Amino acid sequence: MFTLKTKKDRARRGQLTTAHGTIETPFFMPIATKGAVKTMSSADMKDLGAQILLSNTYHLLLRPGLESMKALGGLHRFMGWNGPILTDSGGYQVFSLARLNKTTEECVTFQSHIDGARVTLTPETSMEMQAAIGSDIAMQFDDVAAGDSTRERYEEAMERSLRWAQRSKDAFDSLPHSLTSSLIFSIVQGGTHEDLRERSVKGLIDIGFDGYAIGGLSVGESREDAYRIASRVCELLPADKPRYFMGGGMPEEIVEYVKMGVDMFDCVLPTRNARHGTLFIWTQSPATIDWASAGTTFYNKSHVTNEIYQLDQNPVDPHCSCETCATTSRAYLRHLFSVNEMLALRLSTIHNLHFYLTLMQSLRRWIGGIGG
């Protein structure tokens, strides 16, 4: 259940209630694709204040597999995480990772990127796997068009995704979910074509879902196009349902999407950048930022592996209160990277995730209305 508490222009503050807890919106989901946030434990994520994690149906279907996940009692128990979990349906990964995939109206057949085994994935099997995982929020199975597709391909994928949305919803409703509060979200498709997006929104609202995601952006289109489409879709979506921007993005993009009325985000950037020594650094205390006019000046990216940090004993980020910044100098973190010490990856990931989670907390306080 989603409760809208207050607004600041189009930006929204609310609460999303799931089987494993109530989440303050807007929020960011660290990505635990295969059942773990890379280099981090579930206890780490709790200590950082993560409200919810995102895992992926495709990867967990391949390993450990549907029957193993059932036998293990679901992902919460398996990974020792007692907070909410959202699962991507696997559609995007089928098209981006699998070899020799073939799409028909019935299903997608593909070869695993791990061992080449042939696997069939349908809206129904995607829902079954997400139920076995114990997802608090399951995503519909969708047909994903590449970012450079023709209008005809975008339209085909959008229309098929609508038909698969109905099948996903029917399958979800018929499964014996152990979590009575499980939610199902649909995905708005249509590329950068506003009329296709409008048709997608109308069709999904007619089916009826617990929330609506904006898919198919942050895949190579211009930032202006992404903003234009996201803004238009937010105008069309029901005000009493949560809105989820899938896979984006840079901190300044998240700020803009929040101001359009988006409630939920996920992105690989904080963890991926961390593993390559690129850190997000506040230029001022986040408590002092006016998000209405923040632009891109509220942070910098620091490449901590650079030689200029070899003797720099300052904290990684003077405006950050994470474990890394409280205990680790720039010189030491650079040293850890230079000797290929795994601790470098963990410390950098802690900082970047703390940055993103603090960004969301600051945005919630800026919008106002309720605490935290």
Class of residue 194 by CB neighbours under 10 A (exposed 0-12, middle 13-18, buried 19+): middle
Task: Tell me the C-alpha distance between 38 and 345, whole Å.
Answer: 9
DSSP 258-296: HHHT--EEE-SHHHHHHHTTEEEEESS-GGG--GGG-TT
DSSP state of 309: G
- Among the options 47, 88, 195, 225, which is catalytic? 88
**Any catalytic annotation for residue 88?**
yes
Copy the structure tokens of residue 275.
Answer: 């593993």
Q: 34 to each of 52, 187, 335, how far by Cα in Å?
A: 15, 22, 29
Residue of 142, 143, 263, 266 marked active site: 266
CB 178, CB 134: distance < 8 Å: yes
- CA–CA gap between residue 147 and residue 189 (Å, rounded): 12
Q: Is 266 a catalytic residue?
A: yes
Beta strands 137-139 and 183-188: pairing type?
parallel
Instruction: Give me the active site residues, please.
Output: 88, 266
